[in-house]
């Protein structure tokens, strides 16, 4: 039995559909990320779940109860916004205690202390939000959302306003709190790395629809559409024509890649820079290619080389580990053999726009 069940959700503004028929079930204890570019409808969907906006059509069920028309305060969830939305005129402790139903002071105080300890800010109760850093404020917002013990936690781009370093620690902290309290969490984000590292399941959205829903590894390794292939991670993208028997012609070369496209079908072929192999592996690969390095970018743990290969109408990227570059003395202008393993080539029917 799903903890949260959405069926046929639509949210229209005039002729524009922000959410266009989304059905989704979230299991109890699951951490789900809605991932997509801005304007894809992920925040609209979250606001429908929260009851902050009313859906134009469809049904929202929370914990087995039909909440489709229930106001926000009848839905039992906690929410954290990108802007923190902390009340600036109340101390941190009063912010956290704002939604605690009991009037008993001692119990409120105890609960506030618990919550502040949970987010690692046990000493900050007497401060005002303005005296805290962005990351600390977002932890207070999390504590405030969780203080009334909701079962469902909604996070609307909670990390987008923070510095890169703070973001990394908060990712881990939010996930820990989720696991410890056994929450069901839905997080909206446009940051694929955030979604890949935090979520049990990613729901990729585009133009108001769900493009793919799956575990992070699935989304990354087997993107269901060209949109996802392009949006999640880096991809080399080439246009080609299928020639039958699982082969595709790209400009002057033919690559083995599997897939059942009939001869003559226009397709798009993609592969990730880190899936390009070199050296001994390249020779044994199904698609060995002779290429010349036309540029190398240093990216810290690895190098990204731009390769111009015979028969390709444009250069493509290949990620090479730092020690490989060092050991082989790879540099711009050098010729080398690389391989494109058939299993790492993704072929989609859509032509590239």
* Residue 339 in the binding site for another protein (CB under 8 A): no
Shortest distance in whole angstroms from residue 11 CB to another protein: 14
Shortest distance in whole angstroms from residue 219 CB to another protein: 29
Q: Print the binding letters for residues 289-318 with another protein: x by CB under 8 A, - otherwise.
A: ------------------------------
* Residue 183 in the binding site for another protein (CB under 8 A): no
* Residue 90 in the binding site for another protein (CB under 8 A): yes
CA–CA gap between residue 145 and residue 155 (Å, rounded): 10
Residue of 17, 63, 70, 325 that binds another protein (CB under 8 A): 70
Residue 351 DSSP symbol: P
The strand order across the sheet containing 346-348 reads 253-256, 247-250, 236-244, 266-271, 346-348
CA angle 313, 221, 171 (to 5 degrees): 120
Residue of 72, 258, 288, 315 that binds another protein (CB under 8 A): 72
Cβ(92)–Cβ(129) below 8 Å: yes
Q: Print the binding letters for residues 117-156 with another protein: x by CB under 8 A, - otherwise.
A: -----------xxxx-x----------xx-xx-x---x--
Residue of 5, 52, 168, 324 that binds another protein (CB under 8 A): 52
Closer residue to another protein (CB): 72 or 315? 72
Cβ(26)–Cβ(187) below 8 Å: no
Q: Coil, strand or helix: which one is 23?
A: strand
Q: Print the binding letters for residues 95-114 with another protein: x by CB under 8 A, - otherwise.
A: ---xx-x-------------
Six-digit token string for 293? 């390095």
Shortest distance in whole angstroms from residue 193 CB to another protein: 25
Residues in the chain: 353
Closer residue to another protein (CB): 95 or 206? 95
In this structure, the number of other CB atoms found within 10 A of the CB of residue 88 comes to: 9
* Residue 158 in the binding site for another protein (CB under 8 A): no
Residue of 14, 15, 16, 88 that binds another protein (CB under 8 A): 88
In this structure, the number of other CB atoms found within 10 A of the CB of residue 349 comes to: 13
Six-digit token string for 104? 């008993």
Closer residue to another protein (CB): 87 or 328? 87
11, 91, 128, 307, 344 from 315: Cα distances, Å = 42, 57, 54, 5, 18
Shortest distance in whole angstroms from residue 136 CB to another protein: 10
* Residue 6 in the binding site for another protein (CB under 8 A): no
CA–CA gap between residue 340 and residue 286 (Å, rounded): 7
In this structure, the number of other CB atoms found within 10 A of the CB of residue 300 comes to: 6
Residue of 1, 16, 73, 182 that binds another protein (CB under 8 A): 73
Q: How many residues bind another protein (CB under 8 A)?
A: 35
3-state SS record for 276-330: CEECHHHHHCCCEEEEEEEEEEECCCEEEEEEEECCCCCCEEEEEEHHHHHHHCC
Residue of 2, 17, 63, 85 that binds another protein (CB under 8 A): 85
Shortest distance in whole angstroms from residue 130 CB to another protein: 4
User: Which residues bind to another protein, rule: CB under 8 A?
Assistant: 50-53, 69-75, 77-79, 81, 83, 85, 87-90, 98-99, 101, 128-131, 133, 144-145, 147-148, 150, 154
């Amino acid at each position: 039995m799903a903890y949260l069940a959405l069926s046929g959700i639509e949210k229209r503004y005039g002729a524009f559909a922000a959410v266009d028929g989304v059905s989704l079930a979230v299991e109890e204890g699951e951490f789900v990320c809605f991932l997509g570019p801005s304007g894809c409808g992920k925040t609209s969907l979250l606001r429908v779940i929260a009851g902050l906006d009313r859906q134009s059509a469809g049904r929202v069920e929370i914990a087995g109860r039909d909440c489709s028309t229930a106001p926000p305060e009848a839905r039992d969830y906690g929410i954290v916004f990108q802007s923190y939305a902390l009340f600036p005129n109340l101390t941190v402790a009063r912010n956290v205690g704002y939604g605690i139903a009991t009037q008993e002071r001692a119990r409120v105080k105890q609960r506030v202390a618990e919550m502040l300890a949970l987010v690692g800010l046990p000493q900050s109760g007497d401060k005002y939000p303005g005296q805290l850093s962005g990351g600390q404020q977002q932890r207070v917002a999390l504590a405030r959302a969780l203080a009334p013990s909701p079962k469902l936690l909604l996070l609307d781009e909670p990390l987008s306003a923070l510095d890169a370093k703070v973001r990394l620690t908060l990712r881990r902290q939010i996930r820990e709190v989720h696991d410890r309290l056994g929450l069901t969490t839905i997080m909206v984000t446009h940051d694929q790395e955030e979604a890949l590292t935090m979520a049990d399941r990613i729901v990729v959205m585009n133009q108001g629809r769900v493009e793919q829903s799956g575990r992070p590894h699935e989304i990354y390794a087997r993107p269901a559409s060209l949109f996802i292939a392009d949006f999640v991670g880096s991809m080399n993208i080439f246009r080609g024509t299928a020639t039958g028997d699982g082969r595709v012609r790209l400009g002057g070369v033919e690559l083995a890649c599997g897939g059942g496209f009939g001869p003559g079908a226009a397709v798009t072929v993609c592969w990730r820079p880190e899936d390009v192999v070199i050296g001994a592996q390249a020779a044994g690969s199904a698609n060995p290619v002779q290429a010349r390095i036309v540029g190398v970018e240093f990216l810290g743990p690895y190098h990204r080389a731009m390769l111009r290969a015979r028969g390709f109408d444009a250069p493509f990227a290949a990620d090479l580990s730092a020690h490989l570059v060092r050991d082989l003395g790879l540099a711009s202008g050098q010729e080398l053999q690389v391989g494109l393993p058939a299993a790492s080539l993704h072929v989609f029917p859509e032509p590239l726009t």
